[in-house]
Structure 1
Amino acid sequence: MWAMESGHLLWALLFMQSLWPQLTDGATRVYYLGIRDVQWNYAPKGRNVITNQPLDSDIVASSFLKSDKNRIGGIYKKTIYKEYKDDSYTDEVAQPAWLGFLGPVLQAEVGDVILIHLKNFATRPYTIHPHGVFYEKDSEGSLYPDGSSGPLKADDSVPPGGSHIYNWTIPESHAPTDADPACLTWIYHSHVDAPRDIATGLIGPLITCKRGALDGNSPPQRRDVDHDFFLLFSVVDENLSWHLDENIATYCSDPASVDKEDETFQESNKMHAINGFVFGNLPELNMCAQRRVAWHLFGMGNEVDVHTAFFHGQMLTTRGHHTDVAQIFPATFVTAEMVPWEPGTWLVSCQVNSHFRDGMQALYKVKSCSMAPPVDLLTGKVRQYFIEAHEIQWNYGPMGHDGSTGKNLREPGSISDKFFQKSSSRIGGTYWKVRYEAFQDETFQEKMQLEEDRHLGILGPVIRAEVGDTIQVVFYNRASQPFSIQPHGVFYEKDYEGTVYNDGTFEIYCQAGSHREAGMRAIYNVSQCPGHQATPRQRYQAARIYYIMAEEVEWDYCPDRSWELEWHNQSEKDSYGYIFLNNKDGLLGSRYKKAVFREYTDGTFRIPRPRTGPEEHLGILGPLIKGEVGDILTVVFKNNASRPYSVHAHGVLESTTGWPPAAEPGEVLTYQWNIPERSGPGPNDSACVSWIYYSAVDPIKDMYSGLVGPLTICRKGILEPHGGRSDMDREFALLFLIFDENQSWYLEENVATHGSQDPGSINLQDETFLESNKMHAINGKLYANLRGLTMYQGERVAWYMLGMGQDVDLHTIHFHAESFLYRNGENYRADVVDLFPGTFEVVEMVASNPGTWLMHCHVTDHVHAGMETLFTVFSRTEHLSTITTITKETEKAVTPRDTEEGNVKMLGMQIPIKNVEMLASVLVAIGVTLLLVALALGGMVLYQHRQRKLRRNRRSILDDSFKLLSFKQ
């Protein structure tokens, strides 16, 4: 008997829905978009509006906006999307001035169809590619080798003078969830060479809404908010624009003097813009107090595009949380709502210091609009703080030694000595600083001395209050420069804004490798507090054993360059990947000696455990270790490498305190990891959470040498006996990491083996050499060389997304053609995952769109450097007809992970293989029967409708006859 497992009904419904994802029942929304070249001015008002200074008086603003013999200035040729009323492309649809160079806002509801009539009036090929909607291959608008041809490739590149119609739909599989706001923020952009196309100007906003959210006007307006604003925060890199040479020739007074590789020239072309405006030149965003405002915020760009958008004076609500700062990264989309209360002109800016300084600022105006003033609901306490700013000498290392290692901070050759060395040309570790300090009263004589605040270090005192309270801060500036206090997260009037503008023993450390090396770590102690009841001790039962060996291999990051060269249609020397993959001119190429974790069948370490189809995608990663809450994980580790290594895991309770012991070459060690309740999913998490393990003898060099793997912890009862998840059909673990081979233990060996020159003649500090060894990899592979990301239409897929590395390892991972759900208290829909060093995310999807699709990091440099791969969704027909599939694409046997003991899992049921064909026939028969029943019911409804109409006609004839008789009488 087939038994339906609990909790699978929803997934079954989603599975059935995914089989017909393109069906729609809403409106067809038609847009006529033209691609046009324009001259764009980043500062049309000619001044820094925030400080009200002319450009000549503002050194920073003029460095970006004033043209010179070898400076372009603030005006650039760009290419943008424009909207027209019809296919004559003569009558342009006006857009609000604050939209800047963004394309028009595209809007649709669930069930709608979006038809884009795109005509290219520019001088090179472009496209339009969307996020957040459903499309088939002929409407993807993205150029890359995907195996399609003929009409299915026409959308990939619209030539100058050419046109194409794109058909996008918003099915239920792409709808906002119940927890999402009424409308979700997405974007569209050109995707021939996405980084350069976007830098040239081809990007615009798109929103998809729940049914009934939009009214019937043209253009439609949202029913649930009074104002909709769309803001792009981006350091627009005009050096990547297709028009760079033309801009130099047009705006530089001496074009021949321009050195395009000069760093100061390149910096002058990086515009820190909001919608294409800098230094407050964005036309004012006007809104009414006490009216609902929707902010659609998004970012695009490069590694520098980490933005924190701060709205002065008001609060935002996003995903159920109150904040006044929104975090924005490349291809991150934030939908926030605001009900502004305090009228005035307020600043919105990026809080990253250099971005703020370089002009990423704008103003928004809140008007009273004749509304009644807000009622004062503050019924709590008035809490007074007396805070002084005074100058001190601050020592960053007062103990004189490294608290983690015990070594002296001035030890010659140490990382710390670089920061604490004091000499005629070095400051050392002590600096003059200005610090906030709390005092007892307005006399500022007696300091507040609280034991619980000792850990604050250089921070000012903690200001505490409850909802309904009023905070009064008396501020005394005893320093030698003007200062203020500006708060976040509270309500204040303009007078109190504080901003000037024209109107055990454990270690805690930053996971970014260079930050940890440079000292961003501390020790914290956990003690048993008197009178505190200890937590009941976790009982561990099940044991899972893994036999893992560290072994040295030769690893090829890109064994096949055909995809890369076809994608860019360039020669090897002209391709973006040349610097990383070429082993000439003193470079090493794509092959390196590395150390990797590999799994074996038992403790003899003689028979490697083969990586079957579902594990092929792991690439350089070690085996996917799994456990459930209450388990004991035992890792028997043999070090078959040439130097000491270990195995250290995140998220589990290791049997040893501190870092795990290292295994010398040839040694076998056993590590025990307990999985307490706190290691598993919380009440708001998915059924499983992702972690990571790696060698920690030297965590940075060991990981870059290759020793890293995925770890997944699940709720009790989720894992089946063979290790697969009972609630999923596929599981994929992906590490997005820039492997810095310059920090590998094997660098010198790789130079000797793979360098084309005498090792002694290679400069290991040369910038080109250093850059060439930074491999922008997904599981250790570049340019779509990762294999094994295959699934079937309707399958439930869990993705364990892992981020590690340095501060450049900001990754925003975009899935083409599919959206996913992630849990953060509720289910939310997205198609981009944000990853940072030491962050691990789990997202889940029901595969719905057959085809071979692109997955890539959306950070500009990472796209060109090869951090992209393909995943394939096979159609449901292929799923039913082939259980053990030999695909022509891979020419390898792929055994579905849910085939167990002669059974196949379908819709949460274990079905004998011999019965699959019978089940398929039954399902087809049921489908035909339901279709016949639907037709019969439809016929009955039509028959009854006609009978009622006939009866009405008869009554009408009789009535007319009686009237005629009466008239005759």
Structure 2
Amino acid sequence: MKILLPVTFLVFISSPGWTRDRHYNLGIKETTWNYAPTGKNMLNGKPISEDQEFESQTYLQQSQDRIGSIYKKAMYFAYTDDTFQTIIEKPSWLGFLGPIIKAETGDFIYVHVKNFASRRYSFHPHGLTYTKENEGALYPDNTTGLQKEDDHLEPGAVYTYKWFVEEKQGPGPNDSNCVTRMYHSHVDTPKDVTSGLIGPIITCKRGTLDGDMEKNINESYVLLFSTTDENKSWYINENINTYTEPGQVNASDPGFQESNRMRSINGYMYGNLPNLTMCAQDRVKWHFIGMGGVVDTHPIYLHGQTLISRNHRKDTITVFPASMEDAFMVAQGAGEWMLNCQIHEGMEAFFNVRNCQKPSTDANGTQVVHYYIAAEEISWNYAPSGIDFFSKKNLTAAGSESRLYFEQSPTRIGGTYKKLVYREYTDASFQTQKARAVHLGILGPVLRAEVGQTIQVTFYNNASLPLSIHPHGLRYNKSNEGSFYKTPMGSLPSSSSHINPGATFVYTWDIPRDVGPTATDPNCLTWFYYSSVNPPKDTNSGLVGPLLVCRNGSLGEDGKQKGIDKEFYLLATIFDENKSYLLDENIRTFTTEPENVDKEDPDFQDSNYMFSINGYMYGNLPGLDMCLGDNVSWHVLSVGSDQDLHGIYFSGNTFTSLGARGDTIALFPHISQTLLMTPDSLGVFDVVCITSEHYQGGMKHKYRVRQCSKSNPDQTQYQEEKIIYIAAEEIVWDYSPSRKWEKELKSLQRKNETDIYLDRIGTFLGSKYKKVVYRQYDDITFTHQTERNEDEKHLDILGPLIFLSPGQKLHIVFKNNASRPYSIHAHGVKTNYSTVVSTQPGEIQTYVWQIPERSGPTSKDFECIPWFYYSTVDVVKDLNSGLVGPLIICRKGIKPSIVHRVLHFMIFNENLSWYFEENINTYSREPNQVDRNDPVFDLSNQMHAINGRMFGTNQGLTFHVGDEVNWYLIGMGGEFDLHTVHFHGHSFEFTDMGLYHSDVYDLPPGVYKTVKMYPRDVGTWLFHCHVNVHITAGMESTYTVIE
């Protein structure tokens, strides 16, 4: 059989002096794994059986109907040679991960794999070049025979995988010397990985490895953060039979299922991860990997340290499923420090920084900046006007979205809660409170300091329980950490970690040069501080405040940023009042029948989720006022849970963030960003979270731009005008017009199961739904729909692909051929109106979009950047009904040879469509039997789609070897729309104040990004969202590369 080798293989085969062959011998073995081998919760030193402080017993305590901490798993092991007789011992901290595979650019990797397990598995790499017979992934790809043997190894089989570290796959020009990649089994990825088959790959620039260690690095660690859902393991039934009394187990019981969701780091929970050690001043490289499902948002925080990641200063790195990040750190501060996910309990570990007498380059600041802050209890109203400023209705109006949160009743609290807040005073007497900007709302005072200074905070706890102040982004010792935790060696929390009621403590935090902004950072880094005695309770109670760390000389004598006219601070979070210290007091104070309140009632709990910005909801946030032409800095931050995936959208104007143009910033818990805006549009505009549930829940406000003394910064001469004719059309849409690819996939995976999304059985609706879409017409008569060419067929459900450049003006002649009002509005453009007018059925209306320079790519972006357009009559319902399309803004004179392809990842929630009832009546075989509140029925209508297609039914994605492809990735939707886009076969380039490589891009709601690919390897290649449940639900397809 003739096998085609990719161009890269042919080049390097003829250049043996450039290459090195690296051989690895790996076996797949079934074994047992203990998530807590000490038998203790190392966060408090107590045996699991005695731990009442944490929830460790839920997951780790064995009983007649609970498995406990030990599970049968399949894991990768390294062997000394291809006889597979002797296992190579791996570092204990690596846990259940497979051995580390390392190579440099130009190397060949040969992995000899033997499957000792009782079922078939495979071996699939990220970020490497391979031919089809070395991919190690099972899916319909038009291969047969020898090219299919790598897809799955039957029990007892041996196979050699051959990979190449090609330059376009290895570290990018601005990547660090060694970057994080991974490998895993890919027969049924979610189940294979959950069963244990995953390991790290580290690829390095040529000449940067010294043996197996990166040069100029003292210590290197790989950490996988994952909620391993053992319910989805191939071995769940064996584990039930082995570790429980099977007759006592109800595998469908939610409590049992939760007990098997193991939130771990490298397979260790509650501080059991061993041997993360280093010396103070050591140069440490961290390789972080995420894996799992929609709950797997992991903000990884290293106490006491700051990091460099993609040349930016950070102290928290967020990973999602299939995220692969690396970070550099110079270890500081002798002692045991916590490393943890800031969301999930159980994901805690400790790293020990030893004093090895290495010299420090730190210089303590000579100038001390003093702050006097008290923690106080107040009554807080989330919407003091009583009005929803978007709907203009009373917050408790019948049928309103806000009523759930603001209606006060015998068993409901309403919109006012007692909360804890930080407030600033003039001096240590704490008699006179300092004036504060009204927009700060519930936030504490802004702390500002420059590199070279020291911050000293005198903290007075005027509340009724122990509290603290813990800062992000600063240098401190253990005595000033302000975070309450014990350590495995028995060190008790310092006095800074819990200031008792009525007591005062003075915190001292330093800002040496190596915690300040890097050369690619803005002048001022946005951080924040919070109480860290019990972080979830402390922050949900209200104790959060902003913090700026600025370059030396960036602040004026008044403490404000030089060159900035207005600065605003926005905390986007869902305050979960159910987790507040003051919940019981709020029930007693604000309900009239507190004795009848059921705190476990889901409806009561829902009423206490307050979707807020700075503690305000539904347009009640005051003080966001600025002048046309002002230089404005927005400092945005978030805390919270895995629900807190925010896309904060500023309508009407754009900003720059780390060199990239945008109008929406993605925010996650314990992540903060600095945005720079120069508004050039007058009016009242939205600042909202576009995550569907958050928008509906009230996380939406207004900012105002007035004409003052400055001239308009937009002096664009719009000399070129275009016209496009677009209609809203109601159609029947089939998410999977052919089931061939899906059925072949399930046949390969040996599955025979009902698909609740696509099978029209019982009450399920199947794959077809009535929807409304944007479609282009030839002229104003709207009689002939413009036929899509080969470059547009891939759009599928999306509206027409619109290309514009700065200096152009577009007139959209929009006809509403649908049965209800709709509109068309784009992100990123400039308009002469701040409110989008709706178009009634049958009407024609013209919308005008102007493209100033601030709508186009910056010098740090690629030549084209994506935006999108949609209907705004009801943002959530219109979008889920189908109205969305791409807008691409390019510099003038781009190469005509670039191939442009748009990929829109979104769960179309048909339960939220305007046509939902009509679809039930049309497509359910038993419409009268439909239970709209049934969670399975609800789930069956959540269509996990790429451009509106599922299970390999996308079209128009064929490329030639040597093409330059711009993929425009667009993420939209709700809380479950966390997408991580993975391409098989090729890596891509992306920008972040530099050029980087990866084969996975994180795409939560509100992220839209250009990534650039140069296809070189012939074949049909999979691409998909790497979130487990999204894979299972059909969010995967293929692209093809031909000669």
* TM-score (ref. length: structure 2): 0.79
Which amino acid is 2:328 matched to? E
- Residue number in structure 2 paired with 1:427: 413
Q: Does structure 1 residue 695 correspond to structure 2 residue 695?
A: no
Residue of structure 2 in register with 1:581 after alignment: 758
User: Is the Cα–Cα contact under 8 Å of residues 544 and 627 in structure 1 kept in the other structure?
Assistant: no
Q: Does 1:654 align with 2:641?
A: no
Report what 1:845 is aligned to.
Answer: 1013
1:175 CA displacement: 2.6
* Distance apart, 1:17 and its partner CA: 6.8
Q: 2:369 aligns with which of 374, 383, 392?
A: 383
> Equivalences for 1:907-926 in 2 at 5 Å?
none
Displacement of 1:16 in angstroms is: 8.7
Does the alignment pair 1:783 with 2:951? Answer: yes
- In the alignment, residue 341 of structure 2 is paired with which amino acid? C
d(CA) in 2 for partners of 1:45, 1:643: 63
Shift, 1:424, TM fit: 1.1
State how 1:355-394 maps to structure 2 within 5 Å: 355=344, 358-372=345-359, 374-394=360-380
Aligned to 1:921: none
RMSD of aligned Cα (Å): 1.6
1:750 is matched with 919
Aligned residue for 1:269?
A: 260
Q: How far 1:574 sits from its partner (Å)?
A: 3.5
Shift of 1:371: 1.5
After TM superposition, the structure 1 = structure 2 runs for residues 291-310 of structure 1, keeping only pairs within 5 Å, are 291-310=282-301
| 1:682 alignment partner in structure 2 | 858
- Aligned equivalents of 1:206, 1:168: Cα separation in 2: 12
CA drift of 1:393 comes to 1.1
Rounded Cα–Cα distance in structure 2 between residues aligned with 1:125 and 1:809: 31
Please identify the structure whose Cα radius of gyration is greater: 1
* 1:306–1:728 CA distance, 2 compared to 1 (3 A): farther
Letter in 1 for 2:917: E
Corresponding position: 1:541 with 2:709: no
Equivalent in the alignment of 1:603: 780
Task: Please state whether the residue corresponding to 1:155 is helix, strand or coil.
Answer: helix
Q: Which residue among 211, 224, 232 is the counterpart of 1:232?
A: 224
Change (3 A) 1:221 1:211: same
Query: Does the 8 Å contact 1:628/1:680 carry over to 2?
Result: yes
What is the deviation of 1:573? 9.1
Identity %: 47
- Aligned-residue offset at 1:572: 11
Contact in 2 for aligned 1:731/1:797 (Cα 8 Å):
yes
Q: Which amino acid aligns with 2:903?
A: L
Counterpart contact for 1:436–1:460, Cα < 8 Å: yes
Offset at 1:425? 1.2
- Deviation sequence 1:254-303 (CA, Å, 0-9, x none): 21221212111111101110000000000030011112111000100000
1:18 positional shift: 9.7
**Partner Cα distance (2:11, 2:773) in 1:** 43
User: Closer, same or farther in 2 for the Cα pair 1:823/1:396, shift >3 Å?
Assistant: same
Counterpart in the other structure of 2:735: 557
1:700-739 CA distances to partner (integer Å, 9 max, x unpaired)? 1111111110010111233xxxxxxx25431101110100
Does residue 313 in structure 1 map to residue 304 in structure 2?
A: yes
Q: Which runs of 5+ in 1 are unaligned?
A: 1-14, 719-725, 876-969
State the partner residue of 1:858.
Answer: 1026
Quickly say closer, same or farther: Cα 1:177–1:572, change in 2 above 3 A: closer
| 1:446-845 paired onto structure 2 within 5 Å | 446-450=432-436, 453-503=437-487, 504-530=683-709, 532=710, 534-569=712-747, 574-575=752-753, 578-658=755-835, 660-718=836-894, 726=895, 728-757=897-926, 759-845=927-1013
Q: Distance in 2 between matches of 1:229 and 1:838?
A: 32
- What is residue 324 of structure 1 aligned with on the other side? 315
Query: Aligned ranges for residues 921-960 of structure 1 at < 5 Å?
Result: none
Question: In structure 1, the residue corresponding to 2:449 is in which secondary structure?
Answer: coil
Counterpart residue type for residue 747 of structure 1: F
CA contact (8 A) 1:565 1:571 kept: no
The answer on whether the counterparts of 2:188 and 2:749 sit within 8 Å (CA) in structure 1 is: no
The answer for the alignment partner of 2:677 in structure 1 is none
SS of residue in 1 equivalent to 2:736: coil
Q: Given the superposition, is the C-alpha separation of residues 335 and 806 from structure 1 closer, same or farther in structure 2, using an over 3 Å criterion? A: same
The structure whose residues are more often helix, as a share, is 1
Conserved 8 A contact 2:139-2:748: no
Instruction: Tell me the amino acid that sits aligned with residue 310 of structure 2.
Output: R
Residues 397-436 of structure 1 show CA distances to partners (whole Å, capped at 9, x for unaligned) of 1111012222110111111001111111111111111101
Shift of 1:19: 8.3
**Quick check: 1:29 aligned with 2:22?**
yes
Report what 1:8 is aligned to: none
Whose strand proportion is higher, 1 or 2? 2
Q: Deviations over 1:73-113 (max 9, x none)?
A: 11101110000000111111111100000000000001100
**Would the alpha carbon gap of residues 174 and 69 (structure 1) be closer, same or farther in structure 2, given more than 3 Å must change?**
same
Q: Does 1:871 align with 2:1039?
A: yes
The answer to whether structure 1 residue 169 and structure 2 residue 337 are counterparts is no
* 3-state SS in 2 of match to 1:426: coil
Amino acid at match of 1:623: P
The alignment status of 1:413 with 2:399, answered yes or no, reads yes
Q: Which residue of 2 aligns with 1:97?
A: 92
Select which of 205, 209, 215 maps to 1:223. Answer: 215
For 2:610, the equivalent position in structure 1 comes to none
Contact conserved, 1:22 with 1:171, CA < 8 A, in 2?
no
Aligned length: 839
Residue type of the partner of 2:921? A
Do structure 1's residue 146 and structure 2's residue 141 form an aligned pair? yes
Aligned-pair distance for 1:68?
Answer: 1.1
* Aligned counterpart, 1:908: none
Find the aligned partners of 2:749 and 2:270 in 1 and give their Cα distance.
41
TM-score by length of 1: 0.85
Contact 2:12 2:106 in 1 (8 A): no
Q: 2 CA distance for matches of 1:573 and 1:794?
A: 37
Instruction: State the shift of 1:447 in Å.
Output: 0.4
Deviation at 1:377, TM superposition (A): 1.5
Look up the equivalent residue of 2:471 and give its one-letter code.
P
Structure 2: gaps (5+ residues): 1-5, 488-682
Residue 242 of structure 1: aligned partner = 234
Instruction: Show CA shifts across 1:463-513 (max 9, x none).
Output: 110000000011111111111000000000000001111133111100101
Deviates most, 148-157 or 376-385: 376-385
The residue aligned with 1:337 is 328
Letter in 2 for 1:343: A
Superimposed CA distance per residue, residues 815-861 of structure 1 (whole angstroms, 9 cap, x where no aligned partner):
00101101111110010111111210100011111100000000000
- The CA distance in 2 between the partners of 1:437 and 1:469, in whole Å, is 22
Letter in 1 for 2:726: I
| Structure 1: distance between partners of 2:98 and 2:731 | 49
Letter in 1 for 2:840: E
Query: Cα distance 1:457–1:19, how it changes in 2: closer, same or farther (>3 A)?
Result: farther
Name the residue aligned to 2:558: none
- Over 3 Å counting, the alpha-carbon distance change for 1:816 and 1:375 in structure 2 is closer
Task: Choose from 103, 113, 117 the match for 1:118.
Answer: 113
Could you give the per-residue CA deviations for residues 520-557 of structure 1, whole angstroms, max 9, x where no partner exists?
Answer: 01111123445x45425221111122111111111111
Partner SS, residue 473 of structure 1: strand
